[in-house]
Each structure stands twice: as C-alpha cells, then as structure tokens.
Amino acid sequence: MTAYDNNNPFAKILRGEFPSYKVYEDDDVLAFLDIMPRVTGHTLVIPKAPARNILDISADEYAHVARGAHTIAAAAMKAFRADGITIQQFNEPAGGQVVFHLHMHVMPRHDGVALLPPASRKEDGKVLEQNAAKLIAALRA
C-alpha cells in the first residue's frame, strides 16, 4: 500500500491551507461540505489523524470517524428534511477512492431523487454557506 501523502487536499484543509465549509469539529474528526456535492447537504467526515484509508487507521481511530458520520447523519436528516441517508467510504483506487485521506460521505436522500455523478459539478459558494448554516443549526438543536 502507498504511504500517506501529507499534501493531499484533506490534509491541507486540516492545516488551514485550503478553505472548507466546516460544519462540525471535535478533537478527532472534522466534517465539512463537499464542494462537488452529489446531493444537497453532502458532507465529508475525516479523521484528524493522518490515515490514507480504512486499511491505514486503528479501529479506535476509525470509530471516531464513524461516530462523526453518525452525528452528521442525524443532523442532516433534520436540516434537509431527508427521507434517508447514504453513507459511503471507499478504499484504494480499485475500491473507488479518489482522495487519499480517509473520509466518509454522508448524503441526505429524498425519495425519487437520484445522486448526481461524482465530481460532476462544483456548487456555488453561497449555496454551500446556506447549507452549512442549516446543518450547523441542526447540530446545535
């Protein structure tokens, strides 16, 4: 397996070198909106620990990511009046991974609305700001 790359985009977000629409943070994880969302409210949950994917993280550290995804999923159901939630996590190129810092996708879903193709469009910043505010409010409720 390839070594962790400290210059991947999510590592740069963690260091504040790339901007993001943060919605949740604790000692172990950071959650922020995907700038190329497949649905409204598409959020990524990443560990603060440097981990390429599930094969490169301890079970205890991975549990923090899973708990973060659980927290975001509950808030997203409320914030976006979702009918369901899709959680995805990919590992290595053959498994569909594109950014090589462990991350979980949390996507609020609505009946009859298909996911957009991956990386098919970049969302407007104002829309992302509004969606982040909705999610942050639901997390505080």
Alpha carbons 65 and 59: distance in angstroms, whole number = 10
> What confidence tier does 99 reach under pLDDT thresholds 50, 70, 90?
very high
pLDDT digits (tens, 9 = 90+) for 3-17: 999 999 999 999 999
Alpha carbons 96 and 16: distance in angstroms, whole number = 26
pLDDT digits (tens, 9 = 90+) for 69-95: 999 999 999 999 999 999 999 999 999
Alpha carbons 83 and 98: distance in angstroms, whole number = 28
Tell me which residues are annotated as active site: 103
Name the DSSP class of 94.
G
Is residue 38 over pLDDT 90?
Answer: yes
Alpha carbons 116 and 36: distance in angstroms, whole number = 9
Which whole number is the average pLDDT over 96-108?
97
What is the three-class DSSP state of 1?
coil
Which whole number is the average pLDDT over 113-118?
96
pLDDT digits (tens, 9 = 90+) for 39-50: 999 999 999 999
**What pLDDT was estimated at residue 139?**
98
Alpha carbons 42 and 62: distance in angstroms, whole number = 20
Count of other CB atoms within 10 angstroms of residue 87:
14
Contact 122, 7 (CB under 8 A): no
Average pLDDT of the chain to the nearest whole number: 97
Is residue 1 over pLDDT 80?
Answer: no
Which pTM value belongs to this model?
0.97
Q: Tokens for 97? A: 């991974």
The architecture in CATH of the region 9-140 reads 2-Layer Sandwich (3.30)
Query: By C-alpha distance, which of 36, 29, 25 is closest to 104?
Result: 29
Contact 45, 65 (CB under 8 A): yes
Is residue 138 over pLDDT 90?
Answer: yes
Task: For strands 43-47 and 22-25, give the pairing.
Answer: unpaired
* In the chain, domain spans: 9-140
**What pLDDT was estimated at residue 2?**
84
